[in-house]
Amino acid sequence: MPLNFDSVRRQMAGLDRKVPLLTGETRRYVNLDNAATTPPFLEVLDAIREFAGWYGSVHRGAGFKSQISTDLYEECHEEIGRFVGADPDYHTVICCGNATQAINSVSRRLRLRPGEIVLTSVMEHHSNLLPWRMTGPVEYADVRDDDGALDLEDLGEKLDRHKGKVRLVAITGASNVTGAMPPPARIARMAHEAGAAFLVDGAQLVPHHPVVMGPADDPERIDFLAFSAHKMYAPFGGGALIGPREFFNNASPPSTVGGGNASLVTRNDVVWADMPDKEEPGTPNVLGALSLVKAMKILERMGMEEVAARERLLTTRLLARLTEIPDLRVHGDTALGGACERVGVVTISSDKIHHALLSAVLSHEWGIGVRDGCFCAHLYVARLLGLSDGEVSAFRTDVESGDESRLPGLVRISLGAYNSPDEIDYVCDALEDVLSNGPRARYYVDRATGQYFPEGYSYKLRKYFSLHS
């Protein structure tokens, strides 16, 4: 039976937590920073506690708890693959730490041949950009001027220009800056027709939208998918990489080597383990895998279509209000009416107030958690702000001398299905107030971090949580 969303809200950890405001009052915290990380599901915490009594070393241990842990860990691989519609004959599921680790594993194994390139885009998070630059030459598909969406014509042109030389097309499933969702089926077809494999950075997609990787012979299949558990209500250091078994089974060594991924070692020789062990060096994080699968099961109970629909409603409400606020600019697509090609990530800016000051005011005066800056997507934010590479490079001396206060940036509001319409209205009321009346206090900037803090005001963070209480 599908869950009703009030009961989902009740089972989120920490939604009732109150935080201090400048006025001395406390207010229930409104978390609108879900693209960074999400609060845990209480049922995930319960599962961890419940399993703790059976926790033991995964693989090789003969003890009963080891056997239970190994069996669970192996079952988790199957469940993860099933959740994203992987093809068990084609794909292998690798449990890892997060999307960053997952993408780095692929980049280290890729070994481009002379003349080959990776085609990615300017809208990527650095985790789907910098690893490719370590591999070899990279080409970037551009975004459109009007709505910041991936420019599919440009992607096609670049595939043509580098015909036969594009080894991998690596594109985000959903942007962590504008929420834009490049169409995976269309890009997969374009990539496969050009003889390239297709990787989707699913960090912002998998928690918010149904994903089907598809079978080996489907031209619209996703070959590689990477995502993080902490962005899907399961913050225990889990993540997943799903990719073609053949790619990882080939003769080249694993991306990281050590215990767990060698079956036989002599002074001069190594026999690598089969997949997935070959790409899972070190002691496996069975709690990370368990929590990820538990969260997937809860999301499945809610229905991923329903999660996406609920988030679409909230996003439409947010965009409708934001686009009415004077002196506020919404970056990316603002089309209303339940557009489905985006997730609930919205970035804003205003000429009236610095981005870092705006997010500080929302925190200290309203108890709202959002994020500001460039969100590890410097190329995209620069593109949205109309800044050239040269203009961005002008900040190099600042950064090298430890001053981040003048860096450009935006403010990001990002939603989860558990956020309420009231929370959307509350952040919009807050923005209207701040942009009309300004901050209620004086703030100073910490040059090293670029963060703003209210003058003459301090609080003791350890009063709220301490290792020693």
Here's the x/- map for ligand PLP, 17-46, by CB under 6 A: it reads as ------------------x-----------
Among 228, 261, 285, 315, binds ligand PLP (CB under 6 A): 228
When the beta carbons of 90 and 236 are compared against ligand PLP, the nearer one is 236
Please, what is the angle between helix 304-322 and helix 421-437, to 10°? 20
Query: From start to end of 245-360, where are the E strands?
Result: 262-265, 270-272, 329-331, 345-349
Residues 368-427 that bind ligand PLP (CB under 6 A): none
What's the closest the beta carbon of residue 260 comes to ligand PLP, in angstroms? Answer: 21
What's the closest the beta carbon of residue 403 comes to ligand PLP, in angstroms? Answer: 24
Task: Give yes or no for residue 105 binding ligand PLP (CB under 6 A).
Answer: no
CA distance 213 to 24: 51
User: Which residues, at least 6 apart from 59, have a Cβ–Cβ distance to it below 8 Å?
Assistant: 66, 70, 73, 260, 277, 284
CA distance 107 to 466: 39
Q: How many CA atoms lie within 13 A of 127 on its CB side?
A: 20
Q: How many CA atoms lie within 13 A of 37 on its CB side?
A: 12
Here's the x/- map for ligand PLP, 126-165, by CB under 6 A: it reads as -xx-------------------------------------
3-state secondary structure of 181: coil
Among 11, 69, 92, 98, binds ligand PLP (CB under 6 A): 98
Sign of CA dihedral 61, 67, 72, 75: positive
Task: Give yes or no for residue 11 binding ligand PLP (CB under 6 A).
Answer: no
When the beta carbons of 125 and 294 are compared against ligand PLP, the nearer one is 125
Here's the x/- map for ligand PLP, 165-204, by CB under 6 A: it reads as -------x---x------------------------x-xx
Q: Residue 280: enclosing H or E segment and its boundaries? A: none
Q: Count residues contacting ligand PLP (CB under 6 A)?
A: 14
Supply 9's token pair.
């809200």
Task: Give yes or no for residue 125 binding ligand PLP (CB under 6 A).
Answer: yes
**β-strand 270-272 against 18-20: which pairing, if any?**
unpaired
Binding span for ligand PLP by CB under 6 A among 94-102, 207-215, 324-332, 433-441: 94-102
| Interaction site with ligand PLP (CB under 6 A) | 35, 98-100, 125, 127-128, 172, 176, 201, 203-204, 228, 230
